Structure formats: structure tokens, C-alpha cells
Amino acid sequence: MGRTLAEKLILEHIDASASTRLGLHPGDLVEVAVDIVLANDITAPIALREFEKLGIERVFDPQKVVLVADHFSPNKDIRSAEQCAVMRRFAREQRLPHHYDVGRMGIEHVLLPEQGLVLPGDLVVGADSHTCTYGALGAFATGMGSTDIAVAMATGQIWMRIPETLRLVYTGALKPFVGGKDLILHTIGKIGVSGALYQAIEFAGPVIDRLSMAGRFTMANMAIEAGAKAGLFAVDAATEAYVTAANRTARPYQALAPDPDAHYAKVLEIDVSQIPLQVAYPHLPENAKPVEDARGVRIDQAVIGSCTNGRLEDLNIAAQVLEGHKVSNDVRCIVIPGTQQVYLDALREGLIETFIEAGAVVSTPTCGPCLGGYMGILAAGERAISTTNRNFRGRMGHTDSEVYLSGPAVAAASAVTGYITSPEEVIT
């Protein structure tokens, strides 16, 4: 029997004979070698303390340990400054070439692919649940706890259970402005936030074949919102083109694909022709509904950015909607480019000018308000529409605030009207 993409990626990282690998199946525990170990300014200090307890002086490979200060950087207060200082000291002591701080940093899950640090065929573990983003590149990438990350930094190895795979096949033709965010919100609404618990999701079908890399990153990013261990895309020409442009290290990589006779826990076919623009109501991503159902819901803030929708394509979509319009006087519109490079590209294309002329504020790259960090915290009773990935109670500020999730087109249109609305209502 053939193998799923997840099984192939994991088995390629096991130091075992072909016969031993043949006998391994979903549910089995295996020890795997990792290609990249990632942590940020929230999770790294915990991992680094555990690393020191191990009594090991050096990380297993300085080239494979990546530290990114993105959640509270530039530091917003003394506590966050101390968190980042711990990372800086460790990076200097260990001579880590991939430590990204102010001026170099970006939102980690936008930054690493952009820098060519994650490639097809890799196995990546990160102390952040949205590490699954890199599955868009045909890599097995998953989030883990900081203690596990400490072990991975020390040994280059980690224990993992081989997951079953849920295969999602997307067919049909996308409606205007409908993209990866709408597809994944609709999917989570269909299967629920536990619909793929400890499974890998394999995204496939003709719609996926035509989807941009930005759309794929968005979908892989939110696989965790369905409970998945990883969200995976097979490598194709679009992946190869992205990697060719981003692979600054010239590191070789392996493009893997599932076998035609692979066994799946379940296969679901989704006709995208029936999917309108989506909005996820508070307080779960599974509360996805058509945008028209949310029309008229008043908002106080619109956030466009994050590791889910902070790429240049996302900013282009938002700018297309905001062009020639003004943000409502009752709305704070915050635009957050995913990295310094995204910021620079947006500047060169005139997008930053469009945002500022519309009355939006453009932030330095940061996770910022997504986790209730800074740069857009909500007060009691306030409501935001956001291109981020989670809308749990209190996620973006006060527990009596509300977050509605959408793609960049809906968020931008809502910023103009002051209530949740479709971009067609703004673009005439």
C-alpha cells in the first residue's frame, strides 16, 4: 500500500532500514531528525532555560536553530525586553546565524520561507502552533512545546507519532475575491476545530493546483485551527518557482508527493463554486458564515496582516479595495506587513501610500494584536474584523471584546464602511 505525503516526509527523517520503515504505520512512535528548530520571543526563553538544564554546551547545529523576535518586538515594555534579551544572549553565545531581531525580523512564518530557511522535504519543529504554515512548501512542519524544542535544539532529534491523514480535495471555480482564507474558514466550519485532531491535512485538487503560494501558506497556517498536526501541499511548479526565488542558501531539497494508492483516514471533496466570502464569528474559527450573513455588524477596528495574511499578495488585495476610499471615522485600520521585505515591496509598489491616504496606520512587522500583544488591543465592548487566525474570547484584548475573522478584501471593505461588508459594496 502506498504512503501519504505526511508518512513519506516523516519516514525520510528516520534513521532506519528500508524494511523497518516498511513496517511503520500511522499511530507508531518514531524518532526523527529535524532540519529546522524554531522559537520566538515568547517561547524561546522557556526552551533556553530547559536547554541549560540539559547540561549541553552547544546546539546540535547552529545553522538549523532559528530564533525570531516577532511577538513583542520592538519591545513594548520591560518584560518583553527581558524576553528578547535572553534570546540575544543565547544567539551570541551559540553564534546562531539565523537570529532575527529589530530591522531584520518579520513574523516568523512569513520570514522563514522568504529567507529560504524551509524547503520542500524538510521536517520542521517550532515552539509556535502555526509552524504548520511551512506545509505549503511540501515540508512536514509542526508546533511543539518549549521543552520538546529544547531537546531538539540539543540533539537534532525528536519523538513523534506518525499521524493519519485527512485528504481534502477542492474542485470548481472560485468566486471573485474568494481565496485561501475563505477556503480554510469554510473547511474548518465544515469539519470543526477538532475535525482533524492529530491528523495531517493533505490539501489537493484542481483548485489547489491553481492557488497562489500566498493562498497555500494561509491554508496550511490554519490547519492547526482544525486540530491538525500539519497541513500539507504536494510540491508542484508553483512551489518550485517560489523556492527558486527564495532559496538563498542553495541547499538541496526533496520534492515528495503522496502515492496514488495511499490510505487516508478520510477523503472529503469540496466544491468551491458554492463558497462565498467567509467571516468567522466569535469565539471560534469554526463559526464560519457567508459574509452577507454578517453584513451590518459594526466594527471598531480592522487588522490586515499576521502570519496568516501578511504577505504582499494580501496587502495588494487590501489596497485594491482601499484605493480611492477613506477608512471610516469610527474605525481604526491597522496594516501589518509580514516582514521587512514585504514592507519594502509594498512601499515600492505604492501600497503604503494607498494605506496612509486611506487613513490606515502601517505598523512595523509584528504579531502585535493577533495574540493581544500590542499595536491594537481591544477594550471592553469593542469589535474587530481581522485577517488573523484565531478569535477566541479575549484573544485580541478584553474578554468582553469580539473578533471576527476574514480575508483581506472583507477586512479592507469593512474598514471603509464601518461594518462587516463585502468588497463589491465598496468597489463600484
Tens digit of pLDDT at every position of the chain (428 positions)? 799 999 999 999 998 777 788 888 999 999 999 999 999 999 999 999 999 999 999 999 999 999 999 999 899 999 999 999 999 999 999 999 999 999 999 999 999 999 999 999 999 999 999 999 999 999 999 999 999 999 999 999 999 999 999 999 999 999 999 999 999 999 999 999 999 999 999 999 999 999 999 999 999 999 999 999 999 999 999 999 999 887 666 688 999 999 999 999 999 999 999 999 999 999 999 999 999 999 999 999 999 999 999 999 999 999 999 999 999 999 999 999 999 999 999 999 999 999 999 999 999 999 999 999 999 999 999 999 999 999 999 999 999 999 999 999 999 999 999 999 999 998 87
pLDDT digits (tens, 9 = 90+) for 66-100: 999 999 989 999 999 999 999 999 999 999 999 99
Q: For the chain, how big is the Rg over CA atoms in Å? A: 21
pLDDT digits (tens, 9 = 90+) for 368-424: 999 999 999 999 999 999 999 999 999 999 999 999 999 999 999 999 999 999 999
Three-state helix/strand/coil letters over the chain: CECCHHHHHHHCCCCCCHHHHHCCCCCCEEEEECCEEEEECCCHHHHHHHHHHCCCCCCCCHHHEEEECCCCCCCCCHHHHHHHHHHHHHHHHHCCCCEECCCCCCCHHHHHHHCCCCCCCCEEEECCHHHHHHHHHCCEEEECCHHHHHHHHHHCEEEEECCEEEEEEEECCCCCCCCHHHHHHHHHHHHCCCCCCCEEEEEECHHHHHCCHHHHHHHHHHHHHHCCCEEEECCCHHHHHHHHHHCCCCCCCCCCCCCCCECCCEEEEEEHHHCCCEEECCCCCCCEEEHHHHCCCECCEEEEEHHHHCCHHHHHHHHHHHCCCCCCCCCEEEEECCCHHHHHHHHHCCHHHHHHHHCCEECCCCCHHHHCCCCCCECCCCEEEECCCCCCCCCCECCCCEEEECCHHHHHHHHHHCECCCHHHCCC
Percentage of the chain exceeding pLDDT 70: 99
**Torsion angles phi and psi, residue 242, rounded to 5:** -65, -45
pLDDT of 251 reads 81
pTM: predicted TM-score of the whole model, two decimal places? 0.95
310: which 3 cell numbers?
A: 501578511
Smallest Cα–Cα separation from 321: which of 110, 161, 163, 179?
A: 179
Smallest Cα–Cα separation from 408: which of 391, 389, 386, 380?
A: 386
Q: Scan for cell 475535525, then name that residue.
A: 195
Smallest Cα–Cα separation from 94: which of 44, 159, 142?
A: 44
Distance of CA 277 to the CA centre of its chain: 20
Bridge-partner residues for 100, per DSSP?
A: 68
Q: ∠ CA(265), CA(27), CA(146), 5° rounding?
A: 110
Scored b (16 or more CB within 10 A) or e, 317-333 reads bbbbbbbebebbeebbb
Scored b (16 or more CB within 10 A) or e, 73-92 reads bebeeeebeebbebbeebbe
* Rounded-to-integer distance, Cα 134 and Cα 115, Å: 12
Contact 178, 271 (CB under 8 A): no
Domains of the chain: residue spans and CATH: 5-270 (3.30.499.10), 278-425 (3.30.499.10)
